[in-house]
Structure 1
Amino acid sequence: MQDAVVFLAEKDKILQFIVANFGHPVIQKREEGFAALCHIILEQQVSIASAKACYAKLQNYYGEIHPEKIYKATDEELRGFGVSRQKSIYLKHLAEKVLNNEIVFESFASKSQQEIREELLQLKGVGNWTVEVYLMFCLQAPDIIPLGDIAIRNTIKELYDIHTLEEMEQLADNWKPHRTLASYILWHYYLKRRNKI
């Protein structure tokens, strides 16, 4: 990671400033598979703490979060753990696809990022942000910038005074092939500035 940090620091003085003043970001590594994607779906458009609490309730009740258990769960059960009606639909749809072998997480190791992206985007409730977070956290893809993420966008606006998606994409091009690490640095700054970590 150090080589990538040096690369980004040389390329971008703002990223250099963040690392110098706030330290290195924590690189998240999550298990691959069904439970991990469920967790990411729960994180859509809510706080990290809220999603974590909801996921913990599911874990406490079900033990391993297995597709069969989620598919058979009633909406009332899931709602009792804090899962919204909409996200219950998404989780059950994902569970059904896995049980039918239409989504096989074990096959991702032999697929390109684009193939994985296209496969996951067929799922209800799964958009670019969800796919990108899965690629970053679970598959450790090195060159992802999730510009659908509010914290990433707001941090870029704040530090670079850049406001359009096109300009943000151009900025992120400077960070290739380490856009994932740049994203972690931006998240790190966002959380540190708000005393979240």
Structure 2
Amino acid sequence: MWKEMLTANSYYDFDYTLKRWSYDPLTNLDKEERWVDVPVKLEDGSHVVRVQAQGTTAQPSFSISSEDENAKEALIKHVRDLFQWDRDLEKVRRHFQNTNLEELFSAYPGTPIVKDFHFYDCLVKVIIHQQLNMKFAHTLSTRFVERLGYQKDGVWFYPEPETVAETPYEELRKLQFSQRKAEYVIDASRKIVEGELDLDWLARQADEEVMKYLVKIRGIGPWTAENWLMFGVGRENLLPKADIGIQNALKSYFELENKPSKTQMETFSKNWSPYQSYASLTLWRSIE
């Protein structure tokens, strides 16, 4: 086993990341000991990397450990990209000091964008979770992974697109998927297997191009595309205006009688660019 110490570029609230991940039964973590086991797929196979916080939000540092010495460099690169420790969250906080979210960012400094473990995992998850409450959404994604995925060292890995593409719709219906949701997940997986949908290529395109491309796929609307961009790719400037949680957070923060309209949300967020994703995350956090 190898172990390395890494540091983040600025303020970084790792404990909040653990709290958010703890809602997902598939994630192996310990909030008290401050560690999470990250499933990583590389060309040479599947690996489990333990990431454990050693420092504080103001002075963040982390121990990274895994088994395969030969994959060490690739695993560290993957984990650094996943947690985005190179982002300057202090710069983000300073940006919002000059906006109507100043109080919110003072209350929750260092809230990071942490990516899902892999592009495909994230896409499947957001398709499954769309238009569902959080509890049942995680129930469905857990059943999906336990049925079609696999474990290594007690850590769950999402299935490969090839596995899902070959799965009959009826198999997901047995897990309480609706017929349409079963079709959306399996058909999107088939597009990936057939080369029609290349997530690695898509992740390199501009936000607007990704949105245009993804919403053409049956079962993927703007909310799903925005969440894939934010949590799959780690893009910084997204505000899913149709998200009920963001609407409720804005209603609470600005003390509105009703949920804000799209026009109101555009007015509120006028000065949030280029960091709207951090506003989204911090708004969600404010009502959890």
Normalising by structure 1, what TM-score?
Answer: 0.86
- Within a 5 Å distance, the mapping from 1:24-43 to structure 2 comes to 24-25=110-111, 27-43=113-129
Structure having the larger proportion of residues in helix: 1
Q: How many residues align?
A: 189
Q: Does 1:184 align with 2:281?
A: yes
CA displacement at 1:37 relative to structure 2:
0.5
CA distance in 2, matches of 1:88, 1:153: 28
CA displacement at 1:109 relative to structure 2:
4.0
Structure having the larger proportion of residues in strand: 2
CA displacement at 1:24 relative to structure 2:
4.8
Q: Does 1:78 align with 2:164?
A: no
Structure 1 pair 19–108 and aligned structure 2 pair: CA distance change class (3 A): same
1:99-150 deviation per Cα after TM superposition (whole angstroms, max 9, x unaligned): 2211001112432222211111111111110010011111111111000101
- Within a 5 Å distance, the mapping from 1:7-156 to structure 2 comes to 7-12=95-100, 15-21=101-107, 24-25=110-111, 27-63=113-149, 64-156=158-250
Structure 1 pair 117–32 and aligned structure 2 pair: CA distance change class (3 A): farther
**Corresponding position of 1:175:** 272
Instruction: Tell me whether 110-119 or 20-29 shows the greater mean CA deviation.
Output: 20-29
Task: Report if the CA contact (8 A) 1:32-1:105 is conserved.
Answer: no
Normalising by structure 2, what TM-score?
Answer: 0.61
CA displacement at 1:75 relative to structure 2:
2.7
CA distance in 2, matches of 1:165, 1:116: 22
CA distance in 1, matches of 2:212, 2:118: 17
**Corresponding position of 2:85:** none
Task: Report if the CA contact (8 A) 1:103-1:119 is conserved.
Answer: no
CA displacement at 1:46 relative to structure 2:
1.1
1:7-45 deviation per Cα after TM superposition (whole angstroms, max 9, x unaligned): 113312xx3333444565353311342222010011111
Task: Report if the CA contact (8 A) 2:144-2:175 is conserved.
Answer: yes
CA distance in 2, matches of 1:71, 1:132: 24
1:141-162 deviation per Cα after TM superposition (whole angstroms, max 9, x unaligned): 1111000101101221232227
CA distance in 2, matches of 1:21, 1:33: 31
CA displacement at 1:183 relative to structure 2:
0.5
Task: Report if the CA contact (8 A) 1:24-1:185 is conserved.
Answer: no
CA displacement at 1:80 relative to structure 2:
2.5
Q: In the alignment, residue 165 of structure 2 is paired with which amino acid? A: Y
Unaligned runs of 5+ in 2: 1-88, 150-157
Pair member with larger Rg: 2
Structure 1 pair 23–33 and aligned structure 2 pair: CA distance change class (3 A): closer
Q: State, as a whole percentage, how many aligned pairs show the same letter.
A: 24
CA distance in 1, matches of 2:125, 2:199: 15
- Quote the RMSD (CA, aligned, Å): 1.9
**Corresponding position of 1:194:** none
CA distance in 2, matches of 1:131, 1:109: 11
